[in-house]
Structures are given as structure tokens and as C-alpha cells.
């Protein structure tokens, strides 16, 4: 075992010599995310974010999920609750805008196969979840409360993406996030026969996922934290949340590293 550890250490040192670790933000050698780039991350301020869909500037009126906050009780919502654009999540917490470092973190993990970024991404998400404890969701309770959360689930990769990469990046992130939050991971979601979402428009994304999400085991009564890497239109998160609630989950709170603004 000692010899194996020494060989592994020597291999890592050689790899670092030949292919030095570079910052995903500025490309300087040294760390995956250097101190300067960490200090300048463009965090989404949770007090200004939409509590329903996580849009960065949707606290009062959100153009992304068509909901308005602070309206009187007699004013009807802009969208019927049964509309495809309604959100079944009780809250959504996102860390960074999907550009610059936020986009680079996601693409370097998924397509660059830099698996060491999973704990970095999870740490950023945990930071925003901690901030979200201070701000109310639409139901008047904190947007996130670890003590009232039972499990972490994650939006699953398509079978094609898994075959192409050899791993599910959100499974890796969810496990790291679970370690930060001291919560169990429940791997119960499966995605069937869906195309890659990245090239699809808003309506196409919703249609693409219709009926493709399956919950593989019982989630009755559980308060679920649902993790994803990027929220664009919210189709993936909403489809997963709807499936979890249909199988009896008590609530679903969504979180992601990045949000398309």
C-alpha cells in the first residue's frame, strides 16, 4: 500500500509538471481558482434575487418566472399556477451569473473533465445557500434551511452525456455539497430519451423534457434540495421538481452554481 501511494504521488507530481494546474478564471498556473479570481467572483446577491426562480434581479418583479412579489392579495398572479411557466420549487438559489468564471467552472468540469472542480463548485453553492438563509422565500420561510432539508438530489445527465463523459458531473458536485451541508444524497432521478438541452430554445426545452424524468424510489414526505449546474429557462429543474412532488416529496428547493441572466 505504501508503494502504491508513493507511485500515485509521483504520478501526480509528474502530471503537474507536464500539465500544470491553471486557474479557470485567468489561466495563471497554480490553483484551479486563484485567490484573485475568488475575491472578484460576481456573486448573485440573494436579497435582490427572485425567491422563486433565482433570477439575479427579480426580488420585486421577475421577468423570468412572471411572478410579482409584494402585491396585495386581491391582485392575481401574472401567470396561472397551472401554466408551463410556473415554478413548482418553493425557492431557487443560484450563485453566479452564467458568464465569465461561472461559465468556465461549469464547462471545465463537464467538458474539460477537470473533476477537481466538483468541490470548488459545491463550495460556491454552499456559500450562496448559507446567504439564502437570511432571506424569505415566497412562503415566508427562509429560502434555505439545512435543518428542514432531508436529502440532496441532483438533475441527472442524459444517457448520451454520461456515455460521452464517463461520469455525471452533478453527481460529483452533489456528493461534495452533501459533505458541506451534512446531508445525504439520494440518487433517485433518471432522464430518459431527452436531447441535449443546450441547443434548444425556451419552449423546446420544456417539450424536450416532458415525461422524461423518472423518480426511481420513494421520496414521500421528504424536503428535497435539488442541485443543478446551470439554470437557463428552468425546464430541467422544474421537470425534476414536478416529478419529485408527484411522488410525494413534501417540498423541493432548487440550487445551482450559475444562472443565465
pLDDT, position 212: 80
Q: At what angle do helices 101-110 and 117-132 cross, to 10 degrees?
A: 140
- Residue 126: pLDDT band (50, 70, 90) is very high
Cβ–Cβ under 8 Å, residues 214 and 246: no
Cβ–Cβ under 8 Å, residues 13 and 25: no
More confident residue, 214 or 65: 214
Cβ–Cβ under 8 Å, residues 249 and 236: no
61-68+87-259, CATH topology level: Rossmann fold (3.40.50)
The phi and psi torsions of 108 (rounded to 5 degrees) equal -70, -35
Chain segment 75-120, per-residue pLDDT in tens: 333 333 334 348 999 999 999 999 999 999 999 999 999 999 999 9
- Residue 187: pLDDT band (50, 70, 90) is very high
Spatial separation of the C-alpha atoms in residues 40 and 21, rounded to whole Å: 20
Q: So where are the chain's domains?
A: 61-68+87-259
Q: Which residues lie closer than 8 Å to 211 by C-beta, 6 or more apart?
A: none
Percent of the chain with pLDDT over 70: 78
Question: 3-state DSSP call for residue 147?
Answer: helix
Please say whether the dihedral angle defined by the alpha carbons of residues 33, 39, 44 and 45, taken in this order, is positive or negative: positive
Amino acid at each position: 500500500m505504501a508503494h502504491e501511494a508513493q507511485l500515485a504521488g509521483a504520478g501526480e507530481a509528474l502530471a503537474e509538471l507536464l500539465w500544470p494546474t491553471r486557474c479557470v478564471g485567468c489561466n495563471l498556473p497554480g490553483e484551479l481558482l486563484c485567490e484573485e479570481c475568488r475575491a472578484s467572483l460576481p456573486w448573485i446577491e440573494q436579497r435582490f434575487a427572485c425567491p422563486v426562480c433565482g433570477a439575479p434581479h427579480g426580488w420585486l418583479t421577475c421577468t423570468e418566472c412572471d411572478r410579482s412579489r409584494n402585491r396585495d392579495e386581491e391582485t392575481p398572479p401574472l401567470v396561472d399556477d397551472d401554466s408551463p411557466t410556473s415554478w413548482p420549487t418553493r425557492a431557487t438559489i443560484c450563485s453566479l451569473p452564467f458568464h465569465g468564471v461561472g461559465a468556465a467552472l461549469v464547462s471545465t468540469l463537464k467538458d474539460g473533465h477537470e473533476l477537481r472542480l466538483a468541490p470548488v463548485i459545491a463550495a460556491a453553492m454552499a456559500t450562496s445557500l448559507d446567504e439564502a438563509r437570511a432571506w424569505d422565500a415566497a412562503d415566508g420561510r427562509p429560502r434555505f434551511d439545512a435543518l428542514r432539508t432531508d436529502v440532496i438530489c441532483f438533475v441527472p445527465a442524459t444517457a448520451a452525456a454520461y456515455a460521452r463523459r464517463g461520469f455525471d458531473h452533478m453527481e460529483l458536485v452533489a456528493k461534495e455539497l452533501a459533505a458541506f451541508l451534512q446531508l445525504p444524497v439520494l440518487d433517485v432521478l433518471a432522464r430518459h430519451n431527452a436531447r441535449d438541452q443546450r441547443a434548444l430554445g425556451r419552449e423546446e426545452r420544456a417539450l424536450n423534457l416532458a415525461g422524461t424524468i423518472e423518480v426511481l424510489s420513494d421520496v414521500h414526505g421528504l424536503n428535497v434540495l435539488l442541485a443543478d449546474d446551470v439554470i437557463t429557462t428552468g425546464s430541467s429543474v422544474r421537470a425534476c421538481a414536478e416529478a419529485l412532488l408527484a411522488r410525494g416529496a413534501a417540498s423541493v428547493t432548487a440550487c445551482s452554481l450559475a444562472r443565465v441572466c
